[in-house]
Amino acid sequence: MLGTFALFVVTATTPVANAQNFADRSTFTESQPFEVGPTRLEPGTYMIRVVLISNNRSMIQVTDPKEMKVYASVLAVPHPIRADMTVPASQYTYYPSVAGHAKALRTWFSKDSRLGHDIAYPRSRAHELAVATKEPVPAVPDEVKESELETAEIVTVTPEPIAAPAPAAAPAPVQVAEARPAKSLPTTASELPLYGALGLLSLAGALGLRLARKA
């Protein structure tokens, strides 16, 4: 069952065994670089172990063979083993390597254990692995603080593309005012009254001149 978990990376030069309860452990050797969670490890011999940190979750640590230095710590999701299966020796399965990355540890099956341990990866890396395998991959947020170890939320990343944020709505087009010729006012009266008034003025002027001559 998938529970919540977080991951963090630790490098130390002093033993931590006095602070933890180690349930399962085994030594393994890798001839190629490999990843465990966010940590890339070089070829060499390592110890891998389960660290019980609470009632409902455990953490996987990779150390040197003498368990004096911790190279990586990552919480894992239980991987049930069928009742008819046996694990006489520790087994390790890996995700296929992709461009720019080493192969990544997928599941560790501890000797004689009834559960395997599916390693969780940062969300962005988990999506790459999910796309490569066409299978879901357990993941945690890309950045998780050590103080959030027991409460960080687990997510299951699927091969589907990560949804991109919806684009912002385009602003309404700005209407530019156009210069237009003014409309001519409608003609409301005839010019005939004007002509009539001018004619009357002319007659009045002529009459005035005749009267002035007779005087």
Chain segment 192-210, per-residue pLDDT in tens: 555 565 566 665 565 555 5
What's the chain's average pLDDT? 74
Q: Could you tell me which residues are beta bridge partners of residue 3?
A: none
Chain segment 90-99, per-residue pLDDT in tens: 899 999 887 7
* Segments forming the whole domain that contains residue 72: 7-146
| Strands 34-36, 39-41: pairing kind | antiparallel
Q: What is the CA radius of gyration of the chain?
A: 44
**Number of folded domains that form the chain:** 1
pTM above 0.85, yes or no: no
In a domain, 33, yes or no: yes
In a domain, 205, yes or no: no
In a domain, 190, yes or no: no
